[in-house]
């Protein structure tokens, strides 16, 4: 099984309590059919990101 990449800044944001409840912690899984990459989702280049 391949380990899932999640940017450290996303993890920190989720744990900060500032993320709205209507945004999932795991958008790459929730939006899997539409998912492009973390860089696309976050709107900036993420080191270590792999575009599907």
Q: How far apart are CA 20 and CA 36, in angstroms?
A: 22
pLDDT averaged over 10-residue windows placed end to end, the chain, 52 residues: 83 96 96 93 80 60
Question: Which pLDDT value is given to residue 4?
Answer: 81
Q: What are the DSSP calls for 2-51, one per residue?
A: PPPP--HHHHHHHHHT-S-TTS-S-HHHHTTTT---HHHHHTS--TT---
- For the chain, first and last CA: distance in Å? 16
The pTM assigned to this predicted structure is 0.77
Question: Which pLDDT value is given to residue 15?
Answer: 97
Q: How far apart are CA 42 and CA 40, in angstroms?
A: 6
Domain count, the chain: 1
Question: Which pLDDT value is given to residue 43?
Answer: 86
Question: Domain span at residue 6?
Answer: 1-52
Question: Which pLDDT value is given to residue 52?
Answer: 58
């Amino acid at each position: 099984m391949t380990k899932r990449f999640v940017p450290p800044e996303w993890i920190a944001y989720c744990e900060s309590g500032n993320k709205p409840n209507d945004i999932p912690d795991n958008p790459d899984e929730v939006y899997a059919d539409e998912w492009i990459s973390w860089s696309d989702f976050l709107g900036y280049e993420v080191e270590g990101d792999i575009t599907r």
